[in-house]
Structure 1
Amino acid sequence: MKLLKKLIAVLALAPIMALAAEATFPLDRAPDRTRDLPALQNGAKLFVNYCLNCHSASAMRYNRLRDIGLTEDQIRNNLLFTSDKVGDLMTISMTAKDAKDWFGAVPPDLSVIARAKASGAGSGADWLYTYLRTFYKDDTRPTGWNNLVFPNVGMPHVLWELQGVRAAKFAEEKDPHDASKTVHKFVGFEQVKPGHLSSIDYDNATADLVAYLQWMGEPAQNARVRLGVIVLLFLGVFMVLAWRLNASYWKDIK
């Protein structure tokens, strides 16, 4: 009986512990561009150019990009860097051993990263959108970069040429829960070196990349939603017909 009570207590506290383990940095809402074909095409280009060097997407084939409006010739001429066939999977040539030697850990596969990062703090798209926009220069880290959403991240800022180099500014404040302690609070960024894109253009590029990652996690999502709406409308019409038919059958029976 005591063991059962302990098990119930652990299960009751599990959601609270999970929320406590999440990043405390507030997440920004990612624009929903999963139905915007030009945005998805730009996101695919950014993904292949900046992410596919270290991260694979082994559940996705290049020819699936036809679903976002690209032809096989466009895919072959613009996006095939690690493969010779449009029907191949989005894999990388770097081995797991080399990745661990160079980065200390194997970069995760990004096929379903937008779904994997969903939590009580926000959607996976929100997490990725905020993560890609909160890198800052930190010379104490092996890569020279750090991140507000993922502190002490092992990944370097691969989009730094687009965003530029930024330094994070922090202030020491009293801990609201313990006056004898201080907390390290983020107060803003300082642009050290400009990038190729303005702040607004970089945010738009990041939103396109996140939209592609979100779409890649479930390419059939929009079709599934459309089919669901059609099915619900059909059931609604059928329910009205069935209700009136039932009334017609029983109208003379008292």
Structure 2
Amino acid sequence: MIKKLIGVAALMFACTGAYAAEGGYPLETAPDRVNDVAALQNGAKLFVNYCLNCHSASSMRYNKLQDIGLTDEQIKENLLFTGEKVGDLMHVAMQPEDAKKWFGTVPPDLSVIARAKSVNAGPSGADYIYTYLRTFYRDTARATGWNNLVFPNVGMPHVLWELQGPRELTTVAMHEVQSKDGAHSWERITTTYDDQGYAQVKTEPVADFHGHATLEAKFKALDPAKAAAYNNDVADLTAFLSWMAEPQQLFRKQLGVWVLMFLGLFLLVAWRLNASYWKHVR
């Protein structure tokens, strides 16, 4: 796999604010692969080939990938393409002033995007990334030709579409409408996007509906095997972005277990010492 040309990959972020808003679409739980070295290595390969053309990771050095089992030689042969050194930070060749001129803004740095997208006591940033990358669909109404369920009208097109293969999308929305006389009623709007992004819309009134506005979406993969392989790749890429946001998280968790074991042992010793100390006083 070769690194995508900068002129093509620049489309990754064609408008502003690709990670600035939420679309309200329910997030799926991402597979937990942050402990899977093979998954992290595959995620690193996908990140360098598809993301690093426009999005930098300025808090990460290439040689930090040694922590996920890659040697300097493997990094040089598989992840360095334009004269970078193993000790360099993960910057993009595109200059910020050029990005702002071409796209209206500088594509966001992805070093800690997984942490930035985490919600307190809610979905994790990994869930956001995993669902976001799996809910792109073709839409001819958009300038890029792509849209997204998690982030409606997002400026970033689906740069991994070749890996995923063609799909169709059907959405069913319950929508409240108000007539000229002020009366409220509900409509069911069914929209089907074919694999080229052309939409067919069917609207029908719904009588005696007392619920609330909803949106249901269902994808149909036209190449199931390719779609399944893509889902696996997205899980790996999500794991890598989660690891990159906090490379020390594995050590932190391991250390936490040892600390709890020490505190438990110390509690037992303190309890027995306390009993021995006070037994004659009683």
Q: 1:11 corresponds to which residue? A: none
Q: 1:23 corresponds to which residue? A: 23
Q: 2:103 corresponds to which residue? A: 103
Q: Distance in 2 between matches of 1:98 and 1:165?
A: 32
- Normalising by structure 2, what TM-score? 0.76
Q: 1:135 corresponds to which residue? A: 136
Q: How does 1:55-204 map to 2 (within 5 A)?
A: 55-119=55-119, 121-175=122-176, 179-182=184-187, 185-191=215-221, 194=223, 198-204=226-232
Letter matched to residue 54 of structure 1: C
Does the CA-based 8 Å contact 2:62-2:88 persist in structure 1?
A: yes
Does the CA-based 8 Å contact 1:27-1:130 persist in structure 2?
A: yes
Aligned partner of residue 166 in structure 2, secondary structure = strand
Does the CA-based 8 Å contact 2:22-2:151 persist in structure 1?
A: no
- Could you give the per-residue CA deviations for residues 98-119 of structure 1, whole angstroms, max 9, x where no partner exists? 2223333321100000010112
1:135 Cα deviation after fit: 0.4
Q: 1:217 corresponds to which residue? A: 245
Decide whether aligned partners of structure 1 residues 65 and 172 sit closer, same or farther in structure 2, where only a CA change above 3 A counts.
closer
Decide whether aligned partners of structure 1 residues 191 and 102 sit closer, same or farther in structure 2, where only a CA change above 3 A counts.
farther
Does the CA-based 8 Å contact 2:42-2:237 persist in structure 1?
A: yes
Letter matched to residue 136 of structure 1: Y
Decide whether aligned partners of structure 1 residues 41 and 101 sit closer, same or farther in structure 2, where only a CA change above 3 A counts.
same
1:241 Cα deviation after fit: 0.5
- Normalising by structure 1, what TM-score? 0.84
- Could you give the per-residue CA deviations for residues 18-42 of structure 1, whole angstroms, max 9, x where no partner exists? xxx7431111100000000000000
Residue 236 in 1 paired to residue 250 in 2? no
Q: Distance in 1 between matches of 2:98 and 2:166?
A: 28
1:61 Cα deviation after fit: 0.3
1:199 Cα deviation after fit: 1.8
Instruction: Please identify which structure carries the higher helix content.
Output: 1
Q: How does 1:22-61 map to 2 (within 5 A)?
A: 22-61=22-61
Does the CA-based 8 Å contact 1:111-1:213 persist in structure 2?
A: yes
Does the CA-based 8 Å contact 1:136-1:165 persist in structure 2?
A: no
Question: CA RMSD for the aligned pairs?
Answer: 2.3
1:251 Cα deviation after fit: 1.3
Does the CA-based 8 Å contact 2:177-2:185 persist in structure 1?
A: no
Q: Distance in 2 between matches of 1:134 and 1:65?
A: 29
Q: Distance in 1 between matches of 2:253 and 2:117?
A: 21
Decide whether aligned partners of structure 1 residues 228 and 144 sit closer, same or farther in structure 2, where only a CA change above 3 A counts.
same
Does the CA-based 8 Å contact 1:54-1:94 persist in structure 2?
A: yes
Give ranges in structure 2 of 5+ residues lacking alignment: 1-20, 190-214
1:173 Cα deviation after fit: 3.1
What count of residue pairs does the alignment treat as equivalent? 232
Does the CA-based 8 Å contact 2:59-2:89 persist in structure 1?
A: yes
Give ranges in structure 1 of 5+ residues lacking alignment: 1-20
